[in-house]
Structure 1
Amino acid sequence: MDFGFTEEQLAAVEAAKSVLSGVAVDGVPSPALTPGAVAEDFDRALWRKLADGDLLSLTLDEAYGGAGLDPIALCLVLREAGRVLARVPLLESCAGALAVQRYGSAPLRERLLAAAGRGETVLTVAANGRSGHDGAELAVRAQRVDIGGTDGGGFVLDGVQTGVPWARSCDLVLVPAHTADGAAVVAVVPLDADGVAPAEQVSTSGERFAEVTLDGVGVPATDVLDADGAWEWLRQALTVGTCALALGLGEAVLGMTSAYASKRQQFGYPIATFQAVAVQSADRYIDLRAMEATLWQAAWRLSTSASGPLPVAGDVAVAKIWAAEGVRRVVQTAQHLHGGFGADTDYPLHRYHAWAKQWELALGPAAAHEEALGDLIAAHPLTT
């Protein structure tokens, strides 16, 4: 069996490297201690380059101007974005568009997807907060109603979603909500719609997030993904994409640490030659390889719907456990081996540390996914 990437997937990686090669990481102050270090908006110039390089339409069908690739290709691009801390809603917009393509109505697909692939319409997803697999756990309520002049009626949304990434700069937000019978639906809501009120929040990485309040927001049925499994699939896609971002970040940090340890001398020798330093670096390399293996397993299951001893949610949980724990250990070791230099807010390691913490906790920390994995194993006992 061939476990290698396809020519199309590798071409996407090369295109991403070319576009992202100009992203500056050095010389950018850390947002943790430097007010105003992060711009009010995401990197629009980079967004335009990603669109021009056909990277925003990568997973869309040819009918919408895309290349028709799978989530594995998106994760390969996200890995490169994580290496340079690309300040764009690449994961949220692409995963949201792919969910619309899989589960959305024909009018919604026609209206939204081509524009999203060209970068003209930017999506985000309200996936943080209380957003479990069970619809009853979702923080927003969706009540089915008749909307005058709208075929099929619609829904009215009420509730609050916290920590919505890039919400101050995006056009549409995909909001998971629960219905009266406990089912989960995903509504596509304009952020400037009546009844939508985003309040300013700042993420651990220093980026602008928002707490989005929805008060009697009407959404036509054509703009709601109400098929079984739509929200679960979207949440899994976001989680796997976060693992890809964390992997790219971790690889960049380990490379940064190896370069520093090779130059930094103590007692007349590079500290990289000391056994204690070499062992710690080797342990972090093993973490990254485990993060990579579990990421591609989860991305493959998500892309192919292949069967396994557990549902795909099990592979996603394993990938997020490794991503969360692994990226935390990588940046902690980097800080330790850099000594006081790692605490310099003008040195890029400080920014990587802040972003690593953001992705470690996004969509649930390792402990939450360990609990979810335990529940899956209990519900699907393995037999020999």
Structure 2
Amino acid sequence: MDVLSDEQEVLIQRTAGEFLAAECPPSLVRAAEKSEEKYSKQLWTKFADLGWLGLCLPEERGGQGLPLTYLGLVLEEVGRYLAPLPVHSTMVPALVIASFGTQAQMKLLERVARGELLLSFAIEERSGRWSTDAIALSGRRDGNDIVLNGSKYFVDNFRIAQKCMVAVRMLGADGGDEGPAAVLVDTASAGINCEALLTTAKDGESVVRFDHVRVPQGNRVGAPRQGRAVVDALMDYASVFLVSQMQGAARQAMEFAVEYVKHREAFGQPIGAFQAIQHMAADMVNAVDGTQLLGREAVWRMSQGLPARVEVSQAKSFANEKCMMVCRSAQQMHGGIGFIAEFDLNLWYRRVTSWTLRGGTTYEHRARIASALLDTPGEVRLGRALELPVAGPN
């Protein structure tokens, strides 16, 4: 991987950053938190009109066909400005459709690229575990339909989405377990109940309950034997692009703090002159840059079609701890004002805190890394591309 962005990547990221800096002040973020829909329709329209939703979608479906790294760079800026936009929740299932979808499903991408179709995805259940083994919501085959029963928790932007990609456990007509799969569901389908959750981030999370919800067999994403691969891709896209947002948010919090300690004086000098503050600042930049490198490597490997599951877990487990540390340190460097809800830094702290619990916790991703290292027969060589062991149906 080339760790330096090329000229076009730099231009895309700078343009996205300049746009969001002008269009997304903290007041807009606070207004979105208080709204029922939890996002800015006006900002979404402007964002879509600039073509960023189609960056990594196929050209024949209205996209630009660029590598996934471009989406990662844009999401870094979305995270930096905490833009109240359903970019992550829409693009994650869109990328899965682009990789595994049928021709009929692929047609949806044209509307996604134009910003006309909002998507969501539903993976976690009551246990909160980030694992295909934890999927219990059933999808029983019944003639030409799949009947869904169960609940999904912490579903992002379900209330504003038209379609949701739901991770299910497929059951045959006889009730036999056929393994995990992903199914596209119209969010207005009969039998769906959506209950808003109040989270630390005050964003659009919901509990969604499915009571005998019928969807056509054609809404299943991927071939029958691809079920586990489809769900794995859905989970990895969700995790790695959340890292992009976390890194952007943590970098902004760090820059707020560094700028503050340059000018805040105590005992006749800027507090940034004190060694304790200097060490905190150094740890913060190491954490943010480390998150950036791990996250960008994982996205790059995915864009190249290389094994990346371990790299995704490395990035998310590192980001969970380090980005949280950066935001906490930023608050401490500001002193008491850093902990006041009305102070803008609180927005960044709450978002990063919430994101550490989504897309897999530190412990779950550590377990995946350990499994790849310790459950793989033969000599363990760090730095080698490792495939995670796969067990079970599909």
Partner of 1:303: 303
SS, match of residue 108 in structure 1: helix
Partner of 1:150: none
Q: How many residues align?
A: 369
Are 1:131 and 1:176, in contact at CA under 8 Å, matched by a contact in 2? no
Moved more, 334-343 or 215-224: 215-224
* 2:156 counterpart of 1:165: yes
Are 1:139 and 1:161, in contact at CA under 8 Å, matched by a contact in 2? no
SS, match of residue 69 in structure 1: coil
How do residues 230-245 of structure 1 correspond to structure 2 at under 5 angstroms? 230-245=230-245
* 2:151 counterpart of 1:154: no
* 2:66 counterpart of 1:69: yes
Change (3 A) 1:26 1:219: closer
What amino acid is aligned across from residue 216 of structure 1 in structure 2? H
SS, match of residue 124 in structure 1: strand
* 2:79 counterpart of 1:82: yes
Alpha-carbon distance in structure 2 between the residues aligned to 1:26 and 1:298: 30
Alpha-carbon distance in structure 2 between the residues aligned to 1:342 and 1:239: 28
Which of 345, 361, 364 pairs up with 2:360? 364
Residue 305 of structure 1 and its aligned partner are, at CA, apart by 2.2
Alpha-carbon distance in structure 1 between the residues aligned to 2:258 and 2:49: 34
Partner of 1:149: none
Partner of 1:352: 348
Partner of 1:374: 370
What amino acid is aligned across from residue 224 of structure 1 in structure 2? R
**Runs of 5+ unmatched residues, structure 1:** 147-152
Alpha-carbon distance in structure 1 between the residues aligned to 2:19 and 2:208: 32
Which of 98, 102, 111 pairs up with 2:99? 102
- What is the TM-score normalised by the length of structure 1? 0.91
Alpha-carbon distance in structure 2 between the residues aligned to 1:169 and 1:316: 28
Residue 108 of structure 1 and its aligned partner are, at CA, apart by 1.4
Alpha-carbon distance in structure 2 between the residues aligned to 1:58 and 1:353: 29
Change (3 A) 1:168 1:234: same
- What is the TM-score normalised by the length of structure 2? 0.89
Alpha-carbon distance in structure 2 between the residues aligned to 1:97 and 1:286: 33
Residue 47 of structure 1 and its aligned partner are, at CA, apart by 0.7
Residue 131 of structure 1 and its aligned partner are, at CA, apart by 7.4
* 2:330 counterpart of 1:334: yes
Alpha-carbon distance in structure 1 between the residues aligned to 2:18 and 2:29: 24
What amino acid is aligned across from residue 97 of structure 1 in structure 2? A
Identity %: 25
Residue 95 of structure 1 and its aligned partner are, at CA, apart by 1.4
SS, match of residue 194 in structure 2: strand
Partner of 1:248: 248
- The CA deviation string for residues 120-167 of structure 1, in whole angstroms up to 9 with x for no partner, is 110011133357676442031111121xxxxxx231111100111111
Using CA pairs under 8 Å that are at least 6 residues apart, name the structure with larger relative contact order, 1 or 2. 1
Are 1:184 and 1:226, in contact at CA under 8 Å, matched by a contact in 2? no
Are 1:30 and 1:350, in contact at CA under 8 Å, matched by a contact in 2? no
What amino acid is aligned across from residue 102 of structure 1 in structure 2? S
Partner of 2:21: 21
**Runs of 5+ unmatched residues, structure 2:** 172-176, 382-394
What amino acid is aligned across from residue 53 of structure 2 in structure 1? L
Residue 7 of structure 1 and its aligned partner are, at CA, apart by 4.1
Alpha-carbon distance in structure 2 between the residues aligned to 1:60 and 1:29: 27
How do residues 122-141 of structure 1 correspond to structure 2 at under 5 angstroms? 122-129=118-125, 135-141=132-138
Partner of 1:43: 40
Are 2:33 and 2:203, in contact at CA under 8 Å, matched by a contact in 1? no
